[in-house]
Amino acid sequence: MSEHVSRFSMLANMSDDMSSEDRRELLRKVTATIGKTASPGDRAEFAQLDEMLVALAADYAVRARAELAKAVATSPLLVRTANQFALDDIEVAGPILKHFRALTDSTLLQVVAKNSQPHMMAVTRRQQISKTISHALVEAGDDNVVVSLLSNGNAQIAHETFEMVTTRAQSSAALHAPLIRREDVPPEMLNNIYLEVEAGLRQEIVSKFNSISREEVDKAFQRSRTRVAKRNSPLPDDYDAAKNRINDLSRLGFLTPPGLATLLREGPKGRTAFNIAFAQLADVEFDLVRRAVSARDLDTIALLCRGAGFDRAVYVTIAISLKCLEDRDGPSAEELGRLYESVPVQAAQRALRFWKVRAAA
């Protein structure tokens, strides 16, 4: 009988009348042995050890189980023990959930179902995470869990799961950076949260749009045609009247980008008409323009103007008019012109392509 087996067999003789020091020494010897790489001839012995640990581990204190778990996590042969430890207290489960590669999705789903955020956090740090587990983590995990999942480049995340994360990101700034920085995040998801994120992250989104291939954009566009998430606010009371006015201008041939500034200078009474006209000329949804204008979001307005092919002068005039309607603080005309020029045309056009889908829906 090998040294492995003699040490393993000693576990079966562990009794309550053993001293704490004797128990610790026995566990130390066993865990030291478990941590060694098993040869093919050791499989039967490790299978016996697996049976013993499953039967006896529950009788050990948490501290002792935690010590065993560190060793079990590195041994691919102790599958039953690992699956049992995975559902244990986090001190025991942690090493198993992070490092034991042979855990099944069935076991991991049981872990997530426990609804323990520390357990789920440990799962997010696994070397491989399937789409099924990622989806379960997003459904049950808090923002810290989702951030950790997004930060794990080896985690597989399905399109539907990215949609769930994007919806959460509308109201959770903590998710913005890790979502945007995922290499596999679908382009249309980036477009969906563009308005919600801060300026630096917007630049990262624009940079991604500028670098992805046309084939990727086409695929994302087709997905967007069948999945359109609309969060529009109720229309303003004067919407119908303003819409009729803009339709009349369009029929007469007077609806042009340079004419937007005239509508904007009418002040609050012409704001709805301006938003409708801008949306129609850029071929995007009304609510997108309304939100950008209401927030005086000059970055988004620059993106819209650049993507829609408006001249630099049109953008600068709109931006200055917005500034004058509210206050006189803000960037100069020269600075606004540089902002407009800094937006890559290709990236802006790709962003507008997804927004056009939303408008059509």
Alpha-carbon distance 346 to 354, whole Å? 13
With a pLDDT cut of 70, the percent of the chain lying above it is 79
Tokens of 246: 């803009």
Q: Which range, of 141-145, 221-225, 242-246, averages the lowest pLDDT? A: 221-225
Q: Answer whether residue 338 shows pLDDT above 50.
A: yes
Length of the chain: 361
Assess contact for 274 and 263: CB atoms under 8 A. Answer: yes
Q: What is the DSSP string of 18-62?
A: S-HHHHHHHHHHHHHHHTSPPPGGGHHHHHHHHHHHHHHGGGS-H
- What pLDDT does 228 receive? 47
Alpha-carbon distance 136 to 31, whole Å? 33
Per-residue pLDDT reduced to its tens digit, 59-74:
677 887 888 888 888 8
Helix (H) or strand (E) holding 67: helix 62-72
Assess contact for 336 and 298: CB atoms under 8 A. Answer: yes
CA dist 46 to 10, 14, 119, 129, 315, Å?
A: 14, 18, 27, 27, 72
pTM of model > 0.75: yes
Q: In b/e form, how buried is each residue of 27-65, taking b as 16+ CB within 10 angstroms?
A: bebbbebbeeebeeebeebbebbbebbbeebeebeeebb
Q: Answer whether residue 229 shows pLDDT above 50.
A: no
Q: Which range, of 159-163, 189-193, 342-346, averages the lowest pLDDT? A: 189-193
User: What confidence tier does 323 reach under pLDDT thresholds 50, 70, 90?
Assistant: confident
Residue 129: strand, helix, or coil? strand
Q: Answer whether residue 294 shows pLDDT above 80.
A: yes
Q: In b/e form, how buried is each residue of 103-138, taking b as 16+ CB within 10 angstroms?
A: beeebbeebbeeebebbbbbbbbbeebeeebbbbbb
Which of the two residues, 247 and 15, has the higher pLDDT score? 247
Which alpha helices (DSSP H) does 234-311 contain, by range? 239-251, 260-264, 271-282, 286-294, 298-308
Q: Which range, of 26-35, 89-98, 313-322, averages the lowest pLDDT? A: 26-35
The mean of the pLDDT values for the chain is 85
Average pLDDT over residues 294-322: 94
